[in-house]
């Protein structure tokens, strides 16, 4: 069910809002980014029942308000098989065609979900739903923080593709070389699915550092030192201008090197992603600025 387009794929990730203020922020960002005509918007997923409901509600909100296809994340951390089947049935019955399948964060109280790994959930979806869903999975150019070795990490990714994944979205990174090395390694093993770079805009230091520690993403020292100094000096204008320049250059190198598109981790904000798309000539209204071969 994969689609091909003349231009690089463009997609945005959101998280489900938890209160009225977050809902207002989300809807503003949703509308602004929808104007760029993305291929889809994805929505993150939590392990608890209430967060699952919010994911579904947010997916429907996107589709109904904008007409942009939406892809819910679905996690192994559900409590039982029936809850996963019910969720997948709901997505199927509501015309949702794309899923982002992840292992997910383990519940704070410990324990595991129905499946140990994302590959098991991919296999389950293919067994019971055939090709009904386009399945995206995660991959890690700088390696998953829980992997014992890079080789083990690569085997896990290959297994997800062999189980039926149609494509992959990377964890965010700041080194184009890391992405290209990863893709070269993957291709040498006969894996040919599209691997879309996941990109985190730089808009502050403290939040970026916190997220990066959690997910094992490496912030190069030359970036970290500058944005940390600007944040401490409360010079957010300089920080954001620098961040825009750095990420624009990263994305341009990725696209010129053959990356099939860009997936932005928006954190439910629109300004940084919109500026990056404008600089790169991505999305509706920016075509005249597109100079990527």
Catalytic residues: 13
Q: Are 142 and 173 in contact (CB under 8 A)?
A: yes
**Residues ≥6 apart with Cβ < 8 Å to 258:** 183
- The token pair at 92 is 């199927």
Q: Beta strands 167-170 and 134-139: pairing type?
A: parallel
What is Dmax (Cα atoms) for the chain? 55
Find the helix packing angle between 20-34 and 271-280, rounded to 10°: 10
What would the DSSP string read from start to end of 80-126?
A: -HHHHHHHHHHHHHTT--EEEEE--PPPTT----SSSSHHHHHHHHH
């Amino acid at each position: 069910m994969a689609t091909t387009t003349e231009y690089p794929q463009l997609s945005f990730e959101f998280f489900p809002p938890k209160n009225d203020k977050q809902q207002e922020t989300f809807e503003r960002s949703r509308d602004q980014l929808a104007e760029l005509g993305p291929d889809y918007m994805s929505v993150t997923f939590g392990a608890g029942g209430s967060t699952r409901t919010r994911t579904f509600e947010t997916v429907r909100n996107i589709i109904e308000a904008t007409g942009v296809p939406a892809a819910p994340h679905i996690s192994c951390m559900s409590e039982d098989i029936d809850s996963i089947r019910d969720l997948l049935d709901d997505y199927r019955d509501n015309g949702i065609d794309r899923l982002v399948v992840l292992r997910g964060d383990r519940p704070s109280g410990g324990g595991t979900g129905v499946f140990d790994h994302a590959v098991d959930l991919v296999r389950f979806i293919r067994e019971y739903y055939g090709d009904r869903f386009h399945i995206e999975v995660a991959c890690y150019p700088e390696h998953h923080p829980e992997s014992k070795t890079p080789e083990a990490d690569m085997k896990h990714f290959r297994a997800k593709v062999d189980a039926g994944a149609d494509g992959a979205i990377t964890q965010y990174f700041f080194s184009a070389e890391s992405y290209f090395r990863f893709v070269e390694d993957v291709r040498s093993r006969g894996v040919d699915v599209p691997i879309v770079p996941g990109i985190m805009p730089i808009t502050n230091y403290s939040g970026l550092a916190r997220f990066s520690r959690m997910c094992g993403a490496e912030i190069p020292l030359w970036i970290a030192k500058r944005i940390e100094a600007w944040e401490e000096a409360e010079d957010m204008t300089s920080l954001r201008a620098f961040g825009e320049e750095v990420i624009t250059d990263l994305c341009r190198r990725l696209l010129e090197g053959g990356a099939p598109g860009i997936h932005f981790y928006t954190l439910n904000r629109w300004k940084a992603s919109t500026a990056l798309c404008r600089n790169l000539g991505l999305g509706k209204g920016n075509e005249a600025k597109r100079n990527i071969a």
